[in-house]
Structure formats: C-alpha cells, structure tokens
Chains A and B, each alone.
Chain A
Amino acid sequence: MSVSQRIRRKGKVNLLGNNRNWENYRDILIVLLQKELKVRYNNKLLGYLWSIANPLAAAVVYFVAFQILMRLRVPDYQLILLTGVFPWQWFTNAVGSASNVFVGNASIIKKVNFPRNIVPLCMVTNHMIHFIMSIPVIVLFLLFYQRVPSLTWLYGIPLWLVVHFFMVYGIALGLASINLFFRDLERLMSIVLNFAFYLTPVLYPLDLIPEHVRHYMFLNPAAPLIAGWRELLLDGRVEWLFLAVSAGYAALFFAIGMVIYRRLSWKFAEVL
C-alpha cells in the first residue's frame, strides 16, 4: 500500500477518561498567567514600573524626535502619543511574541495533552493586563494637561478591550500555529510589524493624514483600532464606525486563527 493511501485512512484517538472541567481550564490560565508575571518580574512593584517604563520611554523618544527636533506642530502631541503608544504596545507585543509561544513551551506540549490554545490565550491576556494597568498613567497625564477622563470610558473601554483582545488573540493563535511549521515566520512578522507601526496612526493623529488617502487606512486592521482607542482615551468619544470595522477584523482574524489552530493542533507534538 502506498503512503498516500495510508494517510487518507486517518486514525482516531478516543480519550474517554480525560474529562477536564471549566474549573481546570480556569486554573491552567491562572497558573500560566502567574508564571509569566513571575518570570518576567520577580518584584511586583518594580515589575509594574517596568511594564510602564517601556511605552513611556518610547513616547518620550517620539516626542523629542518629532515635536522638538522635527518641529511637528500638533496641539497636545504628548497626549496623542501616549494614547496611541499604550494600545499599540499591547498589539505589537502580543503579535510579536505570538510566533514563539508554542515553540517556547515545547516541553509541555510534547508531553501533556491539554488544550494548547490556552498558551496564546494566556500570553494575550498577560499583555492586556499590562495595558489595563497603564490606563492610570494615561489618566495622570490627562489630569496634568487639565483634561478629565470621560464617563463614556465606562462602556467604551470594555468594548474596545473585547474587540482588541479577540483581534490579537486570533492573530496570535494563527501565527503561533503556523510558526511551528515555518520557523522563519517570526522574522517576517517583525518586518510586517515595523511597516504596520508607521502605517498606523500611532505617531500622528488621524487628521494629519491627507484627505485623499485617509480612507485607505481601513485596509490596515490596526489603524481603526488604535485611532478608536485614541478617540476614546483623549476625547471620550466612542467612534462607532471604527469600532464596527475593528470588530469585523477581530471576528475575521479570530475565525481564521481558530481554523488554522484546529487544523494544525494535532500535529504540534510531531514538529516540536
């Protein structure tokens, strides 16, 4: 019998004794989260400062480069930078480290049969927690420049969190799965993210984009997302068009990520 004939008659595994309940799923997530936080920061307070320091330093660099050296004349440029850089950090950190999550946890994946999508889920949640923890910093800056957080944050922030979360999780799940088979995806992604960074309104407000190319920004999934966050954090406005487009992208990426994961997950232990 030829090999290809054999492959067509797929085998089956019945694991009848493996009943995990939701409590176990929850606990896996909690323990993995604790592990990531613990590994990254041994000291809790210092760790918090580090997670803030990175985007803050980036904002300072952009401020010096664009406002002081290149004399970009945009009012409230500090706030525009901050409200763009913090959500962008979540996006780029999660997508950037996605390629490595399965490869980095090879030892567990090869030995134990557990729902592997928990690993990227945990990674994305981890970055989300960092983002949420950075919101007080944004508030501080708003207050410093005589602005106040708006009441719309109460429903705006959860809405955008959900959309952002699903978009990033979908991308991460797909990338992490594919990266097992094509290990140079990671390098490709760092190039793509670099492009995305400059094409997304992180460094500049939306109205600085020339009118005739502005609608092209909807082709970039990150653009309405970051622009929407800024509208909310800076002006307290929930921009429903951006939210709808982002939610559409989120649903799309989530579906694609799930399909890729479902189709490839049983091969993970073979390729690691």
Chain B
Amino acid sequence: MREPVISFYNVSKSYPLYGHIRGIKNFLFNFPKSLTSMRQERFEALSNISFEVYEGENFGIIGNNGAGKSTTLGLIAGVLKPNKGRVVVRRRVSPLLALGAGFHAELTGRENVELNGVLLGLTRKEIRRKMDEIIEFSELGDFVNRPVRVYSSGMLARLGFSVVAHLDPEILLIDEVLGVGDIRFQKKCLDKMMSFKDSGVTMVLVTHSVASVMNICDRAMWIDNHQVRMMGDPAEVVEAYCAASNVPINTNAVNKAAL
C-alpha cells in the first residue's frame, strides 16, 4: 500500500463574513451587532470532507464555482486552517501561482523567478543553478529581462509554470491556469506533468476542463455543495458531473492529446 502524502480527516472549513468589520469606525458604531454577526455569519466552504492522495498520483478536483475547490487547495498549501478536522501534508508543497499572482509587476522575469523560488522554500544558490533551465523552458527569450508588467497573460502563465515545475516540486498544486498558454505550450506542460508522474511528484489539479481531468488524472474527486459527492475513476466522475450539470459529454470522444 502506498503512503498517502495528503490526508484530510473530516475537514470542515467556514469563513466568517468579515465584510461588516471592514473598519474600526463601523465596528465601534455598531459594536453589539458587530460582535454577534462576527460569531454567527459564517460561510461554510467545506463540510466534513475526507480524502487521501497518494505519492506520485495525479489527483483532479472538479466542481461548480464556489463548491470549495480553491479552499481545498488553500488547506493543502497551508495558508488556511480548518475549523474542524485534520489536514496532514507529508511533502513540500509548491503551489502554482495562479497566473503570476505572486509576481511583482515592476521586477523582471528573472528577478521574479528568484522571488518565487525563495518563497517556495529554496535558497538563492539552488535557484541560480536552475535559472537557465527555467528560462529556457518558459521560452520567453529576451522578455525575461523585462519587467513582468509588459508580459501577456500567456507569458505570465508560462513563466509561472516554468518556475514551479523546475523547483523540485514534491506536491504540485495547479489551480486552473494552463488554459492561457498557446496549444504548443500546453502540450509542453502536459509532457512535463507526465514526466513528473515518473519521478514520483504528486499533483493536485483543480480545473473546469473535464478533458484535462480525464487525460492527466489517475483519480478525480467531485466536490458538490461543500461535500465530496464522488471520488474515483476520472472518466466516471466526469461523466456523473456532466450529467448532473446537464451538459452532455461523450467521454469516449475526448481527444486524448488535447488538454
């Protein structure tokens, strides 16, 4: 039996709706109301979900908007804490910075690679060793020496993927970002992801592209209404998900090469 690298034990996560305490002024003027609403107005993002992801697995998460997919990724990355239950992550997590979200607009591509590298837990020495490889993979050419504010969204995504893919990920979190690159780069990413699989990298993929779930993932989970609705073979999960959303799809017809 393989060792689970990510385990969720009866995890629930709810957010207080902080909207009403945005300012000290408002908070003080409506003090009693603010206190009670802080305790009671909560938005439940996940309720009592449990699952395990094993080493080297490609795990897909699908579900409607607001079902709790990104919250799940946040819990794995360790930026969020569950209200109930336990999350155990046994490897280093490299979140795929969604569309260069962790990039600083004024810095060049090269400097942003360094910034993201140290934030992900590497030292500068390690990053410098991999710099050329990263830049080559991103195919940005001379653009790496320009500030990222002049990049197109596709270029940002390419740089973002290149950084995370080359910084020795152990667990890779991917949140719906691959759709922006051009077809050729998507293919390249796909190949890279497949090579991860051989080297034992665990991948968690959150996406709305059912085709990529079926093509890349070994297992899929469908989160519906903040709970796990279904988990198992990607084709079956996707089929059930599409049926529930009233979107007919012929799973056999999905082109295996397309993302």
Contacts and interface: CB of A to CB of B under 8 A. Distances in A.
B129 to A, nearest CB: 13
A250 B137 CA distance: 48
Contact of B14 (A6, A17, A183): A6
Interface stretch (A30-38, A130-138, A160-168): A30-38
Contact of B78 (A10, A15, A32, A108): A15
Interface residues of B, number: 57
A111 B107 CA distance: 19
B115 interface: yes
Interface residues of A, number: 48
Nearest to B105: A39
Interface string B1-35: 00001000001111110100111110100000000
B111 A13 contact: no
Interface stretch (A19-27, A47-55, A65-73, A210-218): A19-27
A113 interface: yes
B258 interface: no
B92 A271 contact: no
Contacts of B118: 24, 27-28, 31
A262 interface: no
A187 B75 CA distance: 33
A9 interface: yes
Q: Is the interface of A mostly helix, strand, loop or mixed?
A: helix
A181 to B, nearest CB: 6
Contact of A182 (B14, B22, B78, B97): B22
B108 to A, nearest CB: 9
Contacts of B119: 28, 108, 112, 114
B233 to A, nearest CB: 28
B114 A11 contact: no
Given A110-B101, A113-B77, A266-B81, A16 B88 contact: yes
A146 interface: no
B104 interface: yes
Interface stretch (B60-68, B120-128, B189-197, B224-232): B120-128
A120 to B, nearest CB: 16
Nearest to A31: B118
Contacts of B80: 266, 269-270
A11 B88 contact: no
Nearest to B98: A111
B88 to A, nearest CB: 5
A12 B75 CA distance: 10
Contacts of B22: 182-184
Nearest to B75: A13
Given A18-B78, A39-B107, A111-B98, A6 B83 contact: yes
Contacts of B121: 18-20, 24, 114
A152 interface: no
B42 interface: yes
Given A110-B101, A111-B79, A184-B25, A35 B92 contact: no
A215 to B, nearest CB: 31
CB-CB nearest 7 A-B residue pairs? A11-B82, A113-B78, A184-B23, A17-B91, A269-B79, A107-B101, A14-B88
Given A27-B123, A111-B77, 10 more contacts: A3-B39, A11-B85, A21-B123, A35-B115, A108-B101, A112-B77, A267-B81, A269-B80, A270-B15, A271-B18
